[in-house]
Structure 1
Amino acid sequence: MAADGTVLKALLRQRHLQEHGAFCREFVKVAERIDPHLKSEYPSKATFFRWLSGEVRKLPHPGRCRVLEAMFDGWASHELFEPWDSASGPPPSRDDQRHSAASTEPASVTHELAGIERVFLSRAEFAHQVPPHSFLDHAHKVRLAGLSLNMLCQSYPDHSLVALLESGCEVRCLFLDPDGASIKTREQEEHLAEGHLSTLTRLNMEVLQRVRGRLTGEARDRLQVRTYDEPIRFNITLIDDERCFAQPYMPDTRGVDSPTFVATRDGNEAGLYDVFEQVFESLWNKGAPAWPT
């Protein structure tokens, strides 16, 4: 008999949590217990019903998987997304779930995309659908490398950044050197007036310097800013060792018009998250402090 949903759907029916609102309340309650940073990671209604129907291409990102596994003790996250025919009764107990599917991920959860979760055609589309507060408000580790870092400096309020740093979040920012040769090359590629990007970058660095001046001693140390002078290839944002937003810089195209790739870390296999993390750390280690510490 063909499956009409997932193991997750059958388990939720057993607990009378198959409605989106009821599920989200339980998700938040469990997240509060294991990691309060994950409370806002509950799925949208559309995503939730894809989880129940099995219409997923890959597992949710690691934070969500942690909560799901805590909600259903003993079940691995990939097992929850296995197909299940609800007409045949409830799913087997975890002790009975030892068939071959337990040792291999379902076909929909493969490594063919190297961790790519979503792709947006432009940064503008990404910013509209994934606003900065959705991934920054509860972060505990943020690393950014790019040109002027407008996402953090222009689209995220100063008071929110202060609160984030005071809460214990570590933020490392790597700007393209406003006095270097590479930023001048990029101005030419984008057909901008000389000094346009340099001025914007200095302004954004001053935003962070102003934020730093409002921080207490320990929080001030958690905000680190460096510059680098190399040909710019990607804008990279890494969140909590789990998620990466990578945006290429293309010739004759403004950064805002370039695509955005969303990649999640896979603890079992190297993927694009690991590639971009390595790029960030390489640039960071070669960078120079933006101001005296």
Structure 2
Amino acid sequence: MPPTPILLKVLLEERRLLRYGMFCAEYNKAARTVDPHLVGAPPSRAQFHRWTTGELRRLPNTDNCRVLEAMFPGWTADQLFAPCPPDRLTQQDPPPANERTELESRADHSSAEGYADVTAVFPTRAEFTFARPTHTLFDQAKDIRAAGLSLNLLCQQYPDQRLHQLITGGTTLRCLFLDPEGEAIRAREQEEGYTDHHLVTLTRLNIEVLTRLRKRLPAEAGDRLEIAVYDETIRFNITLIDNRTCIMQPYLPHARGVESPTFIIERQPTGAGLYATFEQVFNQLWERSTRV
């Protein structure tokens, strides 16, 4: 007889949350109801594997247990990590693969390929920046590529001096702004309801911040900071860090950028998932851009 699975694995199976990325998204939703400080700090992939295989010798830390109990009301952490009660194992098995509909099969494939590398989701940029301060994202980075509108994450929320230290230390930085002299940024201002050229002014300021920084760099480091602009409909803010982590923030209709959600995507060895999609978006925008 195979060993009895722990209750947590059975409950995750029932809710189709055994895939790591999908689990993290639900974990963060529950964390928000427990304590906003816990959003964006799900278990690592290795920890999640130990949780679901019953390899833990003791319960996870208190915060993890609080979030799990919020995800599964009515169950305590002790119960979640104990063998599943027999009555929970009497559920009907899913139908054989050859009896499932084509739509179900396609949905499973989409879940496996489309969300496998999404590791965290935040409902607003404000909650993202609170949970993931910029120094935790950039301080050790060796390659940063960013495309969006004003790139405030780098230009307003990360100190100039730290950027200078990164680039002189060998980090490569490519920044792609929505052209402050173009039509697309004015269309976005109209959509967000600005009448004072707020986005144009902010973007010009941020470009100036980086051009001044570039002038202060040693001669051998100047080429490691590239600045460019593009004039196309703004759809995403994309930040790629060390060819491994993607921070993707969509632009919603008639909503300010700070009100849009943020997705954290980690590249997988198999290449499956969304990382490659948004890296391609960045590369195509960069190829069509104008250097500053």
Q: With the length of structure 1 as denominator, give the TM-score of the two structures.
A: 0.65
Q: Which residue of 1 aligns with 2:240?
A: 238
Q: CA deviation at 1:262?
A: 0.7
> Could you list the per-position Cα deviations for residues 47-77 of structure 1 after superposition, in whole angstroms to 9, with x for gaps in the alignment?
3798177347xxxxxxxxxxxxxxxxxxxxx
Aligned pairs for 1:251-270 within 5 A? 251-270=253-272
Which of 134, 149, 154 is matched with 2:151 structurally?
Answer: 149
Q: CA deviation at 1:258?
A: 0.2
Q: Which residue of 2 aligns with 1:185?
A: 187
Mapped to 1, the partners of 2:131 and 2:151 lie a distance apart of 18
Q: Which residue of 1 aligns with 2:50?
A: 54
Mapped to 2, the partners of 1:85 and 1:137 lie a distance apart of 33
273 and 129 in structure 1: CA distance in 2 versus 1, 3 angstrom threshold:
same
One-letter identity of the residue aligned with 2:290: A
1:274 aligns with 2:276: yes
Deviates more, 1:205-214 or 1:237-246: 205-214
One-letter identity of the residue aligned with 2:47: W
Q: CA deviation at 1:193?
A: 1.3
One-letter identity of the residue aligned with 2:149: L
One-letter identity of the residue aligned with 1:125: E
Instruction: Indicate conservation of the 8 Å contact 1:184/1:194, yes or no.
Output: no
Alpha-carbon RMSD across the aligned residues, in angstroms, is 2.7
Aligned-partner SS, 1:54: helix
Q: CA deviation at 1:210?
A: 1.4
53 and 264 in structure 1: CA distance in 2 versus 1, 3 angstrom threshold:
closer
Mapped to 2, the partners of 1:163 and 1:205 lie a distance apart of 18
Mapped to 2, the partners of 1:118 and 1:149 lie a distance apart of 21
Aligned pairs for 1:120-135 within 5 A? 120-135=122-137
Instruction: Indicate conservation of the 8 Å contact 2:145/2:173, yes or no.
Output: yes
One-letter identity of the residue aligned with 1:121: P
Q: CA deviation at 1:213?
A: 1.6
Instruction: Indicate conservation of the 8 Å contact 1:3/1:84, yes or no.
Output: no
Q: Which residue of 2 aligns with 1:102?
A: none
Aligned residues: 206
Mapped to 2, the partners of 1:270 and 1:213 lie a distance apart of 40
Which of 209, 215, 235 is matched with 2:211 structurally?
Answer: 209
Aligned-partner SS, 1:168: coil
2 and 172 in structure 1: CA distance in 2 versus 1, 3 angstrom threshold:
same
Q: With the length of structure 2 as denominator, give the TM-score of the two structures.
A: 0.65
Q: CA deviation at 1:271?
A: 1.7
Mapped to 2, the partners of 1:125 and 1:231 lie a distance apart of 26
One-letter identity of the residue aligned with 2:135: H
> Could you list the per-position Cα deviations for residues 82-122 of structure 1 after superposition, in whole angstroms to 9, with x for gaps in the alignment?
554869xxxxxxxxxxxxxxxxxxxxx95461411110000
**4+ residue runs over 6 A deviation:** none
Q: Runs of 5+ in structure 2 lacking a partner?
A: 7-39, 59-110
